[in-house]
Amino acid sequence: MIDVDAVTVDRGGVRALDDVSLTVPDGEFLILAGANGAGKTTLVRTFNGLVTPDSGTVRVNGTPVEADLLAARRAVGMVFQHPRDQIVAATVAADVAFGPENLGLDREAIDERVDDALEAVGLSDRRDARVDELSGGQRQRLAIAGALAMRPSHLVLDEPFTGLDAAARRSVRSRLEALHDEGTSVVVVTHDPRSVRDLADRSVVLADGEIAAVEDDDRDIDRPILGDPE
Ligand SMILES: Nc1ncnc2c1ncn2[C@@H]1O[C@H](COP(=O)(O)OP(=O)(O)OP(=O)(O)O)[C@@H](O)[C@H]1O
C-alpha cells in the first residue's frame, strides 16, 4: 500500500504539490490525471524517494520512504515517460536482467525473472534482440518488463501511451489489464485518461498541485472540479 499523507513539495519556487493526501491500496488500478504542470509526476516520484516532500510523509507498506529507500524502490516499479531514459543495456534480455542483477540473485533466479517479465509484456520472442531494433511500442513494453523484473507490488507508469500508435497502445493496455488481474497495483499517470478509464478502479484528478476530483469505477464524482464544466 502507498500512503501519501499531507504532502507538500516546492520545486523551483513553484508549489508543485500542496497538502496532498492519497492512499493507493494493493491491487488498485488508479489513474492520476490532470493538465500539464498539475503535479502528477512530482507526486509519483515521491512514492520511491525520487522527490522528497518538504512536508508530510509518504509510506510504502507502512514504512516511510526515506526510512528505507531500497524497500520503497523494490515495492514501487516506475516506468518513466521516455523509455529511452531507463534502457541501460544493448540487448533486450540484458536490459531486463539489469535490475535483478543488482539484487544479488544467482543466475538461475535472474533468468527466471527475465523470462517471466518478457512473457508478461509479450516480448519473449525478442529476448536476444538488440534494443535499437525495437519499435517505440516494444521499447515501452521493454521498460515495463525492466520494472516488472523487480517484482514490484505497485507499478507506476508516467504517460505510457505517449508516441504510441493505436496497435502499440492496445498492446500496452492489455498488458496492464493482465497485470492488474494478477494482483499488481497499477498507477497510470496521464493527461488523457480516456485510454484506460474502463480499466481503472479510480481516477484522481490533480490541478495546481491539489486533488481536484476523485472518481471511482461507479463513476461517482467525490469532489466535482470547480469552475467551467467544459
Ligand atoms: N525539477 C524541477 N524544477 C523546477 N520546477 C519543477 C521541477 N519539476 C517540476 N517542476 C514544477 O512543478 C510543477 C508540477 O510539475 P509536474 O511535472 O509534477 O507536473 P505534471 O502534472 O506531471 O505535468 P506534465 O503533464 O507536463 O508532465 C510544475 O509547475 C513544474 O514546472
Distances (CA, A) of 223 to 42, 73, 114, 215: 22, 31, 42, 8
Would you say the ipTM is above 0.90? Answer: yes
pLDDT tens digit sequence for 18-29: 999 999 999 999
* Predicted pLDDT at 33: 96
Ligand 1: nearest atom to the Cα of 189: 22
Q: What is the set of domains in the chain, with CATH numbers?
A: 2-216 (3.40.50.300)
* Predicted pLDDT at 219: 54
pLDDT tens digit sequence for 47-98: 999 999 999 999 999 999 999 999 999 999 999 888 777 888 999 999 999 9
Residue 129 Cα to ligand 1 midpoint, Å, equals 35
CA distance 94 to 125: 14
Ligand 1: nearest atom to the Cα of 45: 18
Cell digits for 191?
493527461
DSSP code of 90?
A: S
Strand partners, 34: none
* Segments in the chain below pLDDT 70: 217-230
Ligand 1: nearest atom to the Cα of 38: 21
CA distance 37 to 133: 33
Which of 77, 72, 50 lies closest to 62, judged by CA? 72
Residue 111 Cα to ligand 1 midpoint, Å, equals 37
* Lining residues, ligand 1, CB within 6 Å: 11-12, 14, 16, 34, 36-42, 191
Q: How many helices (H) and strands (E) does the chain have?
A: 6, 10
Strand partners, 2: 24, 60
Residue 38 Cα to ligand 1 midpoint, Å, equals 7
**Strands, E assignment, 81-223:** 154-158, 185-190, 202-207, 210-216
**What is the residue with the minimal CA distance to atom 28 of ligand 1?**
37
| Global model pTM greater than 0.80 | yes
Ligand 1: nearest atom to the Cα of 191: 25
Containing 69, the helix (H) or strand (E) segment is: helix 69-75
Residue 163 Cα to ligand 1 midpoint, Å, equals 20
Do residues 218 and 197 make contact, with C-beta atoms less than 8 angstroms apart? no
